[in-house]
Amino acid sequence: MPKYTIVPGTEVPQTPFYYYDLDLLRRTLKTAADEAGKYGYRIHYALKANVEPRILAEIQRAGLGADCVSGYEVRCAVENGFAPQQIVFAGVGKSDREIEYAIRAGIFAFNCESLQELEVIDELAAKQGKVVNAALRINPNVQPDTHKYISTGQSESKFGISYTEVDAALAKLHELEHIRIVGLHFHIGSQIRKMESFAELARRVNEIAEWFESKGVELKHLNMGGGLGIDYGDPDAEPVPDFAGYFRTFRDNLRVREGQTVHFELGRSIVAQCGELITRVLYTKTTAGGAHFAITDAGMTELIRPALYSAHHRIENLTAEADRQPRPTGLYSIAGPICESSDVFARDIEFPESRRGDVLSIRSTGAYGSIMASNYNMRPIAPSLFSDGE
According to CB under 6 A, which one of 190, 301, 317, 370 is a site residue for ligand LLP?
Answer: 190
Cα 292 to Cα 1: distance, rounded to the nearest angstrom: 28
CA torsion through residues 152, 44, 373, 359, sign = positive
Q: Is 113 in the site for ligand LLP (CB under 6 A)?
A: no
Q: Is 301 in the site for ligand LLP (CB under 6 A)?
A: no
Q: Is 266 in the site for ligand LLP (CB under 6 A)?
A: yes
Q: Is 46 in the site for ligand LLP (CB under 6 A)?
A: yes
Phi-psi region of 109 (alpha: psi -120 to 50; beta: other; left: phi over 0): beta
- For ligand LLP, give the closer residue by CB, 157 or 329: 157
CA-closest candidate to residue 131, choices 114, 110, 145, 153: 110
Q: Is 49 in the site for ligand LLP (CB under 6 A)?
A: yes
Q: Is 266 annotated as a binding residue?
A: yes
382 and 18 in contact (C-beta within 8 Å)?
A: yes
Neighbours of 72 (CB within 10 A): 13
Q: Is 71 annotated as a binding residue?
A: no
Q: Is the peptide bond before 16 cis (omega within 30 degrees of 0)?
A: yes
- Residue 226 Cβ vs ligand LLP, minimum distance, rounded to whole Å: 3
- Residue 164 Cβ vs ligand LLP, minimum distance, rounded to whole Å: 20
- Is 274 catalytic? The answer is no
Interface size with ligand LLP, residues (CB under 6 A): 22
Q: Is 330 annotated as a binding residue?
A: no
Stretch that binds ligand LLP, among 5-13, 46-54, 249-257, 284-292 (CB under 6 A): 46-54
- For ligand LLP, give the closer residue by CB, 211 or 309: 309
Q: Is 327 annotated as a binding residue?
A: no
- Residue 167 Cβ vs ligand LLP, minimum distance, rounded to whole Å: 23
According to CB under 6 A, which one of 305, 314, 363, 379 is a site residue for ligand LLP?
Answer: 305
- Residue 112 Cβ vs ligand LLP, minimum distance, rounded to whole Å: 12
Residue 279: exposure state from Cβ atoms within 10 A (0-12, 13-18, ≥19) = buried
Q: Is 363 annotated as a binding residue?
A: no
Phi-psi region of 382 (alpha: psi -120 to 50; beta: other; left: phi over 0): beta
Q: Where are the beta strands (DSSP E) in 167-274?
A: 179-185, 221-223, 261-266
Q: Is 150 in the site for ligand LLP (CB under 6 A)?
A: yes
Q: Is 248 annotated as a binding residue?
A: no
Any idea what the Cα angle at residue 133 is, between residues 130 and 136, rounded to 5°?
135
Q: Is 135 in the site for ligand LLP (CB under 6 A)?
A: no
With a CB cutoff of 8 Å and minimum separation 6, the contacts of 323 are none
CA-closest candidate to residue 187, choices 159, 158, 220: 159
User: Which residues define the annotated binding site?
Assistant: 227, 265-268, 305, 309, 340, 368
Active site residues: 339
Residue numbers at the binding site for ligand LLP (CB under 6 A)? 46, 48-49, 67, 90, 150, 152, 187, 190-191, 225-228, 265-269, 305, 309, 368
